[in-house]
Chains A and B, each alone.
Chain A
Amino acid sequence: MGEAMLEWIRVLGSRVRGWASRRQVEQDFSKELEEHLQLLTEENLRRGMTKEEAKRAAKVRLGGMTQLRETHRELHGWLMLETILQDARYALRTLRKSPGFTMVCVLTLGLGMGASTTIFSVVNAVLLRPLPYPNHDRLVRIEERHRGTFGLGAAGLDFANATYANFNDLRRDAKTIENISAFREWRFNLAGEGEPEQVAGALVSGEFFAALGSKPALGRMITAEDDAPGGDNHVAVISDALWQSRFGAAPGIVGKTVRVNAEDYRVIGVMPRGFDYPEKSEIWCPLVPGGQFRGNRRAHLLTVIADLRAGEPMGSVQGEISAIADQIEKQNPGVDPDLAIAAVSLKKSLVAPVQPALLVLMFAVGLLLMMACANLANLLLARAAARQKELAIRTAVGAGRARIARQLLTESLVVALLGAGLGLAVAVWSLRFIKALDLPDIPRLGAISIDWEVLCFTVFLSICTGLLFGLAPALSGTKTDLNISLKEGAGASTGGSRRGSTQTLVVPQFALAVVLLVGAGLLGNSFVRLLRVDPGFRQDGVLTLGLFLSPMEYPERDVKSAVLLQQILASVRSIAGVRSAGLVTALPITGGPDTDFAIAGRPVPPANDEPSADIRSVDAGYFRTMGIPLLAGREFTDADNATGKRVMLINQTMARQYWPRENPLGQVVTMKDWGPPLTGEIVGVVGDVKTNGLDEAVGPMIYWPYFQFPQLFNTIVVRSEGEPSSLVPAVKAAIWAVDRNQPIAKFETLEQLLSESLARRRLYMILLGIFATAALLLASVGIYGVMSYSVNQRTQEMGIRIAVGAERKDVLWLILGQGARAALLGIAVGIATALALTRLMTSLLFGVSARDPLTFAGVATLLTLVGLGASFLPARRAMRVDPIVALRHE
């Protein structure tokens, strides 16, 4: 079978190749035959025949030249190709004669195919394609869960990292998983030649690379020995990207020493291109747990991944690690009550947050594709009705049923191919557009490319539709008695029977358009509401930049780091055009650390029920620079330094929540999670700021004076008099004037920060918007096409109506009414469907109900107008029918 197929393909290939040069081939063949004849003749002459005899005998032995040539041509299969080409040419000519029909069909198919290919390509790249790690199907993430955190917030946020001690217990006891490894996302300051640079990376345990199944492109990976305390821990594996950008892809990089976080590290390996787990990492160093950290069961710092052992189902893994969790709890009573440990597929955990939105989009794609096919079917059927007479004539003059069917099929195919071409263009363009959006928080967006399988599928679908409905006239056309068709003059008499199917196809189209438009409308509405949300700070005119202090050079809570940061702040404040500058450990919107706390004088709740608040360290300039209002008490001053009295500010939500009827000022709070407990007095209340995103509710927040609670990760905020990003070079210079080796991470304005935080929503909105627009176009095109054909067919009827005294106005209303009825019915069906379906997208909405009456009403109005508008043109044509012409036309 396979071989026969191959042979067939080879033959076809040679035929197609020969087709282009067929004149030449035929000439050559003639020459070849001449030569053969000549040789035969000469042979005959040698045998003693006369010249005449020799020639004749030669011809007899060779056979009839004409017939030989015919056979030759047939063998090359050119006759078949010739007919196909002829059909295609004829089809193109027919289609050119009705450009409206052709354009509408091609547009319909192009939009439908293009949009669906685009979405499927995105969904495929983001959701379905495997992670680029060899062990992707076995990778699991081990998550600690606590009663306080589990089930809170959006999907994907309800896990906590593991503590080092728990990780060690797991590594020792778990048998259903292997390569149990941990990592901690980290920042690395690179110094040395060139500008100092901060890159993302991870501190990884010895089995990290083995768990992913990845191999280095150069050198070796980090192993258990590198990660053992007391070993040679100062080794680093770098990414291909970093190797290229910072080290010029030098082949001798392995073994070189680089300055990382103010220490010397030896490069031991380079990972292959594209390896950047976790989160765009560029460098990996051993985790090397220090003494206190090793036994810690409270600091949840590690992300743990592992491979399922071959053949182990997820269920047995869960059973085993749950047992380990119970054991940990028993051995360490009171440390972490209600500890649970769960294993989830890494792939699932990566895509979980975007899954609902992508599924909504897939659904939208399905609808759109259905609309496109319905539209095409509708158009082809309408055209078939209009062509009955033409087909009857062609049958009458002797065209075979098969020949007519083939002609109609060719037409459908040509339309489908033109549509496919447009669809490809649409897909290429929109994918380029989506990639250009460069959304940072959509995983694997860079890997998106046109999904050829999907494109083929959509092309196949449209061809099927084309074939199915394109054949309808051939089937019905040959069924009708051609005498009747010819005599009655198809137009007037067949109009009635067609009206029913017209409506049945327009109604679902409008219904689908309603569903898509309502979806897009709700998303758009949510987006606008989000833009109107007050973030709690003034977003204009502020530049932000990250400073990560190398821990070796600036040990935490060391006076050296305080001095450095104060010098840097002073240097930045002295820049012309800078109004104020401040320091914070984590910016709003992007999330950050939190802590359990206790209020002095109140009963201490059980260990797992302690109140918790977000925690930020800020300097005296922060609130002024951000424009966060002080509501009570005082702000921090420069006197709130390392030696000053321990004080704190809280946000309005915390004040309301814990001191609803009392004055929070003067209250004493102890923060428990970050090192030794830190106790301070509340000296002021500031306004709420959106901590985890514009769409997340604000929780309690505690601010500490920075120099009483310094951190390694810092952000400087700079309020400028003019355009904030114009300050970048001056700020760089100011910082490097203080420390030449201090890298600066990511300059960003607050406006950019806010806009990026909405990037994902913007993508969904744009995608669904594209859909809704396409759906609207398809629906209007559909109703226009159908009404036009209906009017064409009823020209005679209109003529008669006008001749017997109908007002032209009445004719207009007759047609408009017919269109409006179909549209309204579709809208009603669509609204009912949308009411049932939009509930599914509740998690994507913000501040709007899934049944928002305004959105529904707006969509209904819009579609009614579109329906009327699209029917108006054909209706006006009907109104202008000249009765005399219309009657004679028959």
Chain B
Amino acid sequence: MAEGRSEILQGTLDLMVLKTLAAMGPQHGYGIARRIEQISEEALQINQGTIYASLVRLLQRGWISGAWGASENNRKAKYYSITKSGRKRLAAEAENWERISEVIGRVLRIAEHG
């Protein structure tokens, strides 16, 4: 895998995880992965394990917190929830993302017409 692509993917995944937690409240890893797949209407088939790298990164930066709880089947599962600083980060990142995607979109359109 090329460096550049993984860089973008990594940041994007972190952003999606944050957004998912912000929208749905505490979730375990499986729940987050499922949710992202569903929202993307299964267009984005991620290797679900990669979600954990994302979770560790977010935990280390204090943007989410994790705690053990009971899963739907009453087994132990780790639940993640977004923190206050995580929400701040999400807002900033989302804005950033929109700006970039808009710019990229514009650039691509120019390229087509040009």
Contact of B49 among A38, A39, A63 (CB under 8 A): A63
Can you list 11 residue pairs at the A/B interface with Cβ under 8 Å?
A: A35-B78, A36-B30, A38-B73, A39-B30, A61-B48, A62-B47, A63-B47, A65-B49, A71-B53, A72-B52, A72-B56
Residues 41-78 of chain B, each 1 if its beta carbon lies under 8 Å from chain A, else 0 = 00000011110110011011110000000010101111
B48 near A36: Cβ-Cβ < 8 Å:
yes
Quick one: which of A27-48 are within 8 Å of B by CB?
28-29, 31-33, 35-36, 38-40, 42-43
B30 near A10: Cβ-Cβ < 8 Å:
no
CA distance A35 to B52 in the complex (A): 13
CA distance A129 to B61 in the complex (A): 40
Interface residue? A68 (CB, 8 A):
yes
Known: A14-B59, A38-B75, A72-B53. A32 touches B48 (CB 8 A): no
B29 near A40: Cβ-Cβ < 8 Å:
no
Quick one: which of B3-36 are within 8 Å of A by CB?
28-30, 33-34
Collect the chain B residues with CB atoms within 8 Å of residue A298's CB. none
Known: A32-B78, A35-B75. A11 touches B48 (CB 8 A): no
Interface residue? A15 (CB, 8 A):
yes
A63 near B50: Cβ-Cβ < 8 Å:
yes
Residues 628-642 of chain A, each 1 if its beta carbon lies under 8 Å from chain B, else 0 = 000000000000000
CA distance A247 to B4 in the complex (A): 75
Expressed in whole angstroms, the minimum distance between the Cβ of B34 and any Cβ of chain A is 8
B57 near A75: Cβ-Cβ < 8 Å:
yes
Collect the chain A residues with CB atoms within 8 Å of residue B33's CB. 36
Interface residue? A195 (CB, 8 A):
no
CA distance A593 to B32 in the complex (A): 89
Expressed in whole angstroms, the minimum distance between the Cβ of B109 and any Cβ of chain A is 33
Contact of A40 among B30, B73, B77 (CB under 8 A): B30
CA distance A29 to B78 in the complex (A): 9
Collect the chain A residues with CB atoms within 8 Å of residue B50's CB. 63
A35 near B30: Cβ-Cβ < 8 Å:
yes
Expressed in whole angstroms, the minimum distance between the Cβ of A462 and any Cβ of chain B is 33
Known: A35-B75, A39-B30. A75 touches B61 (CB 8 A): no
Contact of A31 among B56, B57, B76 (CB under 8 A): B76
Collect the chain B residues with CB atoms within 8 Å of residue A14's CB. 59-60, 62
CA distance A63 to B76 in the complex (A): 21
Expressed in whole angstroms, the minimum distance between the Cβ of A616 and any Cβ of chain B is 75
CA distance A39 to B72 in the complex (A): 9
Closest residue of B by beta carbon distance from A38: B75
Collect the chain B residues with CB atoms within 8 Å of residue A76's CB. 56
Closest residue of B by beta carbon distance from A68: B49
B56 near A35: Cβ-Cβ < 8 Å:
no
B71 near A11: Cβ-Cβ < 8 Å:
no
A63 near B53: Cβ-Cβ < 8 Å:
no
Closest residue of B by beta carbon distance from A29: B52
Number of chain B residues whose Cβ lies closer than 8 Å to a Cβ of chain A: 23
B53 near A75: Cβ-Cβ < 8 Å:
yes
Closest residue of B by beta carbon distance from A71: B53
Closest residue of A by beta carbon distance from B37: A61
Collect the chain A residues with CB atoms within 8 Å of residue B34's CB. 43
Collect the chain B residues with CB atoms within 8 Å of residue A42's CB. 73
CA distance A23 to B19 in the complex (A): 31
Collect the chain B residues with CB atoms within 8 Å of residue A63's CB. 47-50
Contact of A62 among B28, B48, B60 (CB under 8 A): B48
Closest residue of B by beta carbon distance from A39: B30
CA distance A8 to B97 in the complex (A): 22
Interface residue? A264 (CB, 8 A):
no
A61 near B47: Cβ-Cβ < 8 Å:
yes
Expressed in whole angstroms, the minimum distance between the Cβ of B21 and any Cβ of chain A is 16
A35 near B53: Cβ-Cβ < 8 Å:
no
Which of A35, A36, A62, A68 is packed against the most chain B CB atoms within 10 Å?
A36
Known: A35-B76, A35-B77, A36-B29. A15 touches B49 (CB 8 A): no
For the residues of A in contact with B, the DSSP-based class is helix
Interface residue? A739 (CB, 8 A):
no
Interface residue? A7 (CB, 8 A):
yes
Residues 165-176 of chain A, each 1 if its beta carbon lies under 8 Å from chain B, else 0 = 000000000000
A68 near B71: Cβ-Cβ < 8 Å:
no
Quick one: which of A67-85 are within 8 Å of B by CB?
67-68, 71-72, 75-76
A10 near B61: Cβ-Cβ < 8 Å:
yes
B60 near A32: Cβ-Cβ < 8 Å:
no
Expressed in whole angstroms, the minimum distance between the Cβ of B3 and any Cβ of chain A is 16
Contact of B48 among A31, A40, A67 (CB under 8 A): A40
Collect the chain B residues with CB atoms within 8 Å of residue A31's CB. 76
Closest residue of B by beta carbon distance from A75: B56
A11 near B75: Cβ-Cβ < 8 Å:
no
Collect the chain B residues with CB atoms within 8 Å of residue A28's CB. 78
Known: A35-B76, A39-B71. A11 touches B60 (CB 8 A): yes
Expressed in whole angstroms, the minimum distance between the Cβ of A57 and any Cβ of chain B is 11
Closest residue of B by beta carbon distance from A64: B49
CA distance A556 to B16 in the complex (A): 92
Collect the chain B residues with CB atoms within 8 Å of residue A38's CB. 73, 75
CA distance A754 to B88 in the complex (A): 70
Contact of B71 among A7, A35, A65, A71 (CB under 8 A): A35
Collect the chain A residues with CB atoms within 8 Å of residue B52's CB. 29, 32-33, 68, 71-72
Known: A35-B28, A35-B71. A10 touches B48 (CB 8 A): no
A32 near B57: Cβ-Cβ < 8 Å:
no
Expressed in whole angstroms, the minimum distance between the Cβ of A682 and any Cβ of chain B is 89
CA distance A34 to B30 in the complex (A): 11
Collect the chain A residues with CB atoms within 8 Å of residue B48's CB. 36, 40, 61-63
Expressed in whole angstroms, the minimum distance between the Cβ of A77 and any Cβ of chain B is 9
Q: A36-B48, A72-B53, A75-B57 are in contact. List 4 more A-B contacts (CB 8 A).
A: A7-B61, A29-B52, A31-B76, A36-B28
CA distance A681 to B47 in the complex (A): 114
Known: A7-B61, A71-B53, A72-B56. A32 touches B47 (CB 8 A): no
Closest residue of A by beta carbon distance from B78: A32
A32 near B77: Cβ-Cβ < 8 Å:
yes
CA distance A38 to B49 in the complex (A): 13
Expressed in whole angstroms, the minimum distance between the Cβ of A19 and any Cβ of chain B is 13
Collect the chain B residues with CB atoms within 8 Å of residue A33's CB. 49, 52
Residues 74-110 of chain B, each 1 if its beta carbon lies under 8 Å from chain A, else 0 = 0111100000000000000000000000000000000
Expressed in whole angstroms, the minimum distance between the Cβ of A688 and any Cβ of chain B is 78
Collect the chain A residues with CB atoms within 8 Å of residue B53's CB. 71-72, 75
B73 near A62: Cβ-Cβ < 8 Å:
no
Residues 8-28 of chain A, each 1 if its beta carbon lies under 8 Å from chain B, else 0 = 001100110000000000001
Expressed in whole angstroms, the minimum distance between the Cβ of B79 and any Cβ of chain A is 10
Collect the chain A residues with CB atoms within 8 Å of residue B60's CB. 10-11, 14-15, 75
CA distance A889 to B48 in the complex (A): 63
CA distance A487 to B84 in the complex (A): 66
CA distance A487 to B15 in the complex (A): 61
Collect the chain B residues with CB atoms within 8 Å of residue A36's CB. 28-30, 33, 48
Collect the chain A residues with CB atoms within 8 Å of residue B71's CB. 35, 39
Collect the chain B residues with CB atoms within 8 Å of residue A67's CB. 49
CA distance A63 to B28 in the complex (A): 17
CA distance A673 to B62 in the complex (A): 78
Closest residue of B by beta carbon distance from A35: B77
Expressed in whole angstroms, the minimum distance between the Cβ of B64 and any Cβ of chain A is 12
Quick one: which of A162-199 are within 8 Å of B by CB?
none
Closest residue of B by beta carbon distance from A31: B76
Expressed in whole angstroms, the minimum distance between the Cβ of B20 and any Cβ of chain A is 15
Expressed in whole angstroms, the minimum distance between the Cβ of B35 and any Cβ of chain A is 13
Collect the chain B residues with CB atoms within 8 Å of residue A10's CB. 60-62
CA distance A22 to B53 in the complex (A): 16
Closest residue of A by beta carbon distance from B34: A43
Expressed in whole angstroms, the minimum distance between the Cβ of A623 and any Cβ of chain B is 81
Expressed in whole angstroms, the minimum distance between the Cβ of A41 and any Cβ of chain B is 11
Closest residue of B by beta carbon distance from A77: B60
Collect the chain A residues with CB atoms within 8 Å of residue B61's CB. 7, 10-11
Closest residue of A by beta carbon distance from B73: A42
CA distance A65 to B53 in the complex (A): 13
Quick one: which of A844-890 are within 8 Å of B by CB?
none
CA distance A38 to B48 in the complex (A): 13
